Every structure is written in structure tokens, then in C-alpha cells.
Chains A and B, each alone.
Chain A
Amino acid sequence: MLKVRVIPILNFNGFGLVKTKQFYNPRMVGNPVQAARVYNSRGVDELAFVDINATKQNRKINLKLVKDVISECFMPVSIGGGIQSIEDINDLLRIGADKVIIKSKALTSPNFIKESVEFFGSQCISIALDVIREGREFIILNDFGLKLNALEFIENMQKIGIGEFVLNCVSSDGMMNGFDIGLINALESSIDVPVIAVGGAGLPVHFAELFKRTKIEAVGAASIYHFTQYTPLDIKFELIKNGVPIRMTS
């Protein structure tokens, strides 16, 4: 049967890896090549590498750096950051990315997403959503002043036929207090494609809780690996203890 995926997230700011708290205050944590090597040596299920400043700074992600990171990895890698055109996606796939993660462009131009899916196939296109609560609604946090209801956006993207969602729970980001189960469940029930839930992991038991209380099959995390003693293997041991189907590498 399909195993759940435990995915380290590398956030890049243009120079080096950073980690935010509730999407604020990025803290420089290190060098992407070293992180890729460490995770590859651990046999993680997948890796996601996102340049969180590319769109903001109106530039492209550095392809040499991405190539260096990918060259360290014999597992699947998703790359995101500043993707604006078919050429951008093609550049990334050609240097070895398995999936691309698109955020800003999906908000401003759903047609582009449609085009990408037609060109490259749905499985390479992952859409990232940064979700917050506003009253009783879930909306998508964005820099464009757009008021976007998360559920509506999800439905539109699914109609277009994308491959996967990366669901970022903004208020849990970097807090290491556990996943936002309520938010995840509220959105996940409307999603038919694979979803990676991100935001809030601080202890292995948080992961077990996530898989017990939601129907999520993939989880992303960063702070727990940067700042605590826990490695993805510790997470996997906890999941096995709780009967969650997970791949163990020797």
C-alpha cells in the first residue's frame, strides 16, 4: 500500500537557508548543499526546496544552486520559487527537479497553471497555499491584496487538474507546537489530489497525531530538524509505533 511521506522543507532566501516563524522574521540557518547531503544520507522520502524571496525580489531561482542541491539527492525533489513561465518550469525539470511548486503565479494567473499542466502533465505541478483563518473563513495569504477564499481556490486548481497541494498553515509555521488539525481537516475534505501538510511540527508525536486525526498522507517540516534533536528517522519510528504505513530504509 502507499506509504506516507515525511518531507524536509528547505527554505532559501537567495543566499542561504532560512526559517521563519508564522512567515515572519526569517532566521538564517545554513547552507543548502550541506542540508541536502544530510537529508540524502538519511534516506528521506522526498525533499522540497523553495526560494521564498524569488518572486518578492523579482528574480529567478539560482539554477546552479538548485542543480547542486539536486545532484546530492537520489530521492525526489520539488523545487519552488519565482516560477513565472513555461521556460522556468522546463529549466527546473531539465536539471532534475521532479515537481515544481508554484505559489504566486497560481494566484494571479490560473490560466498559466492550466497551460503548465497541459505542457508538462499534472504530476509535476504542485501548488502551494499559505492559509490563515479570517473569522470563520479560510483565506489565502498573499502579497497582491487579493481576497481569496481557500476552498474556492482549491476547487479551481483541482478543476484545472494539478498534481498536488502544499498546504502551509501560516499561524503554526515555526512555532513547533503541533499541526493545525482543525484547519487541515476543514480543507482536506475538499481535496482529491495528494496534499503535503506543513507547519507546526516540534515533536515526533505531533506527526503521529496528524496521521491519526486527519486523512493527510504527506507531511513537510523544517524547524524540528534545524533546531531539535529529532531527525526524520525518529519521526518514522514514532509513526511505526502508531501503525502508520511508512517506508523504513536500512
Chain B
Amino acid sequence: MIAIVDYGMGNLASVQKALNFLKLDNIITNDEIVIRNATSIILPGVGSFRTAMENLSRLNLISVLEDEVLIKKKKFLGICLGMQLLASLGTEQGSSKGLGWIDGKVIRIHAEGKRVPHLGWNEIHFKRNGMFNNMIDKNFYFIHSYHFVPDNPDNIFSTFNYGCEMVAGVIKDNILAFQFHPEKSQNAGLFLLKEYFNSEHA
């Protein structure tokens, strides 16, 4: 059972739709007991970093997630804002503390001559071998104005190019997170979700 964490930010319906299509059992929830009983956890998210952290805190989800993900090492997928929140620090509307699971900062995109937000389909490049080796279509849908800069390059799983190279995915043990939206990336995204949740990784 995959728990899709509902903390009032963004597009849960689409994530659920993709998982349903792939026949992966899932539930949208912010209930501590349900999350603790889940085998995997997805943290989606669209919107403001600051509001997201406030909501997670208000709903008492932070310690639950830390327990289940950092200590019990459950399989974790972060999407878009759900990836950015893993950072130590966000800089939207002033500085705010993130979950700090992967050291790094989230800063605004400044790409010479490029439009912001980074909006549309872009190709990703994997920095690590292993998972997703047989992925052919590597175009995914991005929609964001901020990007994650991890302190440790070993945490970088994949990158994209938009004026310069930026992080498309981060990894740390059982934690995997992407800047793009696999649930909105049609066949490529469905392939990724299927591979990840059906694999023995983490």
C-alpha cells in the first residue's frame, strides 16, 4: 500500500490516477496510523515551500515521516515540491527550513535568456546506473521556478539542461525524489512509477 501524503498542497488526484492505472494499491491520507501501515510513501506537492512546511508541521506529519522514512527506511518518492522540501533550506518568500533529509538549498532559477518558470517537457540525464537503465523515453514534464542544489553531488540522481545543468532527481538510500511530474508525463512517467514501485530497490 502506497500512502500519498495529503498536506493540502497540490495535485493528489493525478498521482492517484497514475497509480490506479498501474494497479498499485494506494491511499490519499494524512492520518498517522495509515502512513505507518503503508509500505511506501509518496510526498507530492505544488505551491509554496513555506506554506508546505507550515502545513506539514501543523498536521504533525514531520516526525511521522521521519520515523517511517529515515528510521524504518520505507520506500519514498518525492515529487516536485515534495522533492524540494527534502532540502535544508528554501528561499521562496524569505528563508524557511526544509525537512533537511538531504543537505542543500532550494533557490530560484536564474538561467540566462530563459523564461521562468521552467515549464514543459525536458530530457533528463541519469548520473547513476542501475534503476531505469532500460528507460527509452526520457522526456518528462516540469513546472517549477525554484531548483534544488544538494550540497553533496553524490545525492544527484539525474539532471536536466535549461541554460545550464540543474538537478532533476535526488537520491539517498531509500529516498528518491524528482523535480518533474511522473504522474503527468504520460508513458515515460508511468514507466518510471511502475519500475520504481515494482522494483526491489530500497
Contact = CB atoms under 8 A, between A and B. Distances in A.
A122 B120 contact: no
Given A74-B184, A163-B117, A192-B116, 7 more contacts: A2-B162, A45-B121, A71-B17, A74-B183, A120-B47, A164-B119, A194-B120
Contacts of B70: none
Interface string B169-194: 00000000000010111110110000
A249 B119 contact: no
20 contacts: A1-B162, A2-B114, A2-B118, A3-B120, A5-B120, A45-B121, A74-B187, A75-B141, A93-B10, A96-B17, A120-B46, A121-B48, A122-B117, A123-B144, A163-B143, A163-B145, A193-B115, A194-B119, A194-B120, A249-B186
Contacts of A4: 120
B63 interface: no
B13 A95 contact: yes
Contacts of B186: 43, 74-75, 249
**Interface pairs A-B: 9 shortest CB-CB:** A96-B13, A121-B47, A194-B119, A3-B121, A247-B121, A247-B139, A123-B117, A123-B143, A76-B184
A152 B189 CA distance: 39
A220 B161 CA distance: 24
Interface in A117-135: 118-124
Interface in A1-60: 1-5, 43, 45-46
A96 B121 contact: no
B123 interface: yes
B178 to A, nearest CB: 15
B48 A123 contact: no
Interface residues of B, number: 39
B113 to A, nearest CB: 9
Contact of B141 (A76, A93, A192): A76
Nearest to B49: A121
Contacts of B48: 118-119, 121
Contact of B119 (A93, A97, A123): A123
B156 interface: no
A93 B11 contact: yes
A218 B46 CA distance: 22
Nearest to B51: A119
Contacts of A229: none
Contact of B120 (A94, A192, A217): A217
Contact of A250 (B141, B161, B185, B187): B187
Contacts of A1: 122-123, 161-162
B47 to A, nearest CB: 4
B32 interface: no
Contact of A74 (B118, B121, B145, B190): B190
A211 to B, nearest CB: 13
A45 B46 contact: no
A96 B11 contact: yes
A238 interface: no
- Of the candidates B14, B46, B139, B145, the one having the most CB atoms from chain A within 10 angstroms of its own CB is B14
B120 A45 contact: yes
Contacts of A163: 117, 119, 143, 145
B65 interface: no
Interface in A100-154: 118-124
Contact of B14 (A96, A121, A193, A247): A96
Contacts of B121: 2-3, 5, 45, 247
Contacts of A124: 46-47
A3 B139 contact: yes
Contacts of A2: 114, 118, 120-122, 162
Contact of B117 (A70, A75, A194, A250): A194
B46 A93 contact: yes
A124 B10 CA distance: 10
Nearest to A162: B117
Contacts of B120: 2-5, 45-46, 194, 217-218
Contacts of A119: 47-48, 51
